[in-house]
Amino acid sequence: MASVPTGSGYRRQLYRDDAVVLRVQKLGESDRIITLLTRRHGRLRAVARGVRRTMSRFGARLEPFGHVDLQLAGSPEGVGSSLHSVSQVEAVALYGKQFLTDYPRYTAASAIAETAERLTPVEREPSLRLFQLTLGALKALAAGEHAGGLVLDAYLLRAMATAGWAPAIAECAVCGTPGRHAAFSVPAGGAVCPDCRPPGSAHPAPATLLLMSALTDGDWPIADAAEPPVRRECSGLVAAHLQWHMERALRSLPLVDRRESS
Ligand SMILES: [Zn+2]
Look at residue 28 in the predicted model and tell me its pLDDT.
87
Q: Residue 54's pLDDT band (boundaries 50, 70, 90)?
A: low
pLDDT the model gives residue 211 = 98
**Backbone φ/ψ region at 65: left (φ over 0), alpha (ψ -120 to 50), beta:** left
**Lowest mean per-residue pLDDT among 30-39, 144-153, 243-252:** 243-252
Q: What is the mean pLDDT of residues 247-257?
A: 86
- Stretch 240-257: mean pLDDT, rounded? 88
Residue 73 has pLDDT above 70, yes or no: yes
Q: What is the pLDDT of residue 83?
A: 81
Give residue 58's pLDDT. 79
Residues 169 and 213: beta-carbon distance below 8 Å: yes
Residues sharing a CB contact under 8 Å with residue 262, sequence separation 6 or more, in sequence order = none
Q: Please state the φ and ψ torsions of residue 258, each to the nearest 5 degrees.
A: -95, 10
Q: Say yes or no to pLDDT of 117 above 70.
A: yes
Mean pLDDT of 149-161: 97
Percent of the chain with pLDDT over 70: 89
Tell me what pLDDT residue 202 has: 95
CA of 171 to the centre of ligand 1 (A): 8
Given its phi and psi angles, is residue 231 left (phi above 0), alpha (psi -120 to 50 degrees) or beta? alpha
State in Å: Cα 236 to ligand 1 middle: 23
Q: Ligand 1 mean position to 188 CA, how many Å?
A: 10
Distance CA 170, CA 24 (A): 39
pLDDT for the residue 1: 47
96 vs 109: CA distance, rounded Å: 8
**3 state SS of 216:** helix
186 Cα–ligand 1 center, Å: 14
CB count in 10 Å sphere of residue 124: 18
Mean pLDDT, rounded, for 234-242: 95
Residue 141: is its pLDDT beyond 90?
Answer: yes
CB atoms within 10 A of CB 99: 21
Would you state the pLDDT for residue 254? 86
Distance 218 CA to ligand 1 centre (A): 26
Query: Does the pLDDT value for residue 76 go beyond 90?
Result: no
Which position has the higher pLDDT, 60 or 89? 89
pLDDT for 262 equals: 41
Task: Output the CA 173–ligand 1 centroid distance in Å.
Answer: 7
β-strands 66-73, 183-185: how paired? Answer: unpaired
46 Cα: distance to centroid of ligand 1 (angstroms): 47
60 vs 70 pLDDT, higher one = 70
Quick check: 127 pLDDT over 50?
Answer: yes
Q: Is the pLDDT of residue 66 over 80?
A: yes
Tell me the CA–centroid distance for residue 258 and ligand 1, in Å. Answer: 33
What pLDDT is stored for residue 134 in this prediction? Answer: 98
- Identify the pLDDT of residue 50: 83
Q: How confident is the model at residue 78 (pLDDT cuts 50, 70, 90)?
A: low
Instruction: Give the per-residue pLDDT at 259.
Output: 78
256 C-alpha to ligand 1 centroid (Å): 33
Q: Which residue has the higher pLDDT, 2 or 25?
A: 25
